[in-house]
Amino acid sequence: MEAIMRAAGALMGTELSDPVDLGGNPRSTVLRCRTAAGGSVIVKAYTGERDALRAFTSEAAGLSLGVAGPELLGVDPEYPMVVMRDLGDLPTLVDVLLGGDAGAAREGLLSWAATLGRLAAESVRHRRRFTGLRARFHKGVPGWDEEPWLAEDADGLLALLAGTGITAPDGLAADLEAIGAVSGPEFSAFTPGDTCADNVLLTPDGPVLIDFESASFAPVFLTAAYFRMPFSSCWCVFRLPGDVAAQVEDAYRAEVAEVYPPLADDGLWRPGVRRAVAAWTVNATVHLLPRSTPDRPTHRIRRPVPTLRQLLRYRWEEAGELTEYPAFAETMGLLLREVAADWDVPSLPCYPAFQPTPSPNR
């Protein structure tokens, strides 16, 4: 922490002190540091590992774009690190979803979705500038969006099925290829990438998105799936009431349809989102199933959270309804019968904020 703080102080041209470790992840260390003037800043320093270097490139470019996130105060491509304005200790969308106020949770979700939608719409005209910023901060590692992750996930699912003794249904490879087409260039917009509930700060002026380590231009359907599933690649996953999920998705869609009017057509929007749900379900299966023995919570310390097996079973149940991909839907049923049948875990409940309040004993 001392070395990071000194490097950040040199970047900012001021002395920093009293570093507080805010957690970070295996790719980065995040510190809150005091400034000589009595304020504070957030410093995010990255390791030299491959994934960390591409995370730095995405974050530095995404924050430099200036259309979302905390104010960027400095970038050191050599260290590498970024320094951001400190927004203080604020509740996140996770906090209200895991709380007991359904109104606050609904408002938080709707504000988050509308914020992402406005960001997507505003960003379309900035694509060339973002490309230039990525080149400026490039560390020699392709971004996650520049790698064929959907094709790799498809291959991973086929290998995973073979490893569990499940014979892949006829037509599964073709279905997976069709599902992977969701990554096409049409209807792309900027996204921070990891648009999960713990990366949404609820400020008095509205949500602020944080964590731009996966920032890119991506098809809006891949973001829209976060409202439908919900939270396609996150740990804080419970069920959303159907009416709430629909309202949240509509809030995002209304914004992106302003810049992409064809998305107002249900015949285009709904198949696109369903294809994205299938893509994210493949991703979850490939990355979480090998880690689910023994079963474990999806987060090391936060509670309540589902277990990996609860989450996977829920994903498979929902994806089994995607009958436009018959072999894929059949595969989801096979996983439920052949893999999850003996999992002694409860069904995934609604988020605590939307669970009925127990009646007092009389």
- Taking the domains of the chain in order of start, what are their residue ranges? 2-85, 93-354
Q: How far apart are CA 330 and CA 337, in angstroms?
A: 11
Grade residue 218 by pLDDT with cuts at 50, 70 and 90: very high
| Band (359; pLDDT cuts 50, 70, 90) | low
pLDDT of residue 238: 98
Q: Closest by alpha carbon to 1, among 11, 13, 294, 24?
A: 24
What's the token pair of residue 296? Answer: 């474990």
In this structure, what token pair is assigned to residue 300?
């090391």
**Is 3.30.200.20 the CATH classification of the domain at 2-85?**
yes
Q: What's the pTM value of the predicted model, to 2 decimals?
A: 0.94
CA angle, residues 143, 145, 148, in degrees to nearest 5: 105
pLDDT band at 249 (very low <50, low <70, confident <90, very high): very high
Q: What is the mean pLDDT of the chain?
A: 95
Class of domain 93-354 (CATH, top level): alpha beta
* Model confidence pLDDT, tens digit, residues 128-142: 999 999 999 999 999
Distance (Å, whole) CA 145 – CA 1 = 31
The stretch 244-266 carries a mean pLDDT of 97
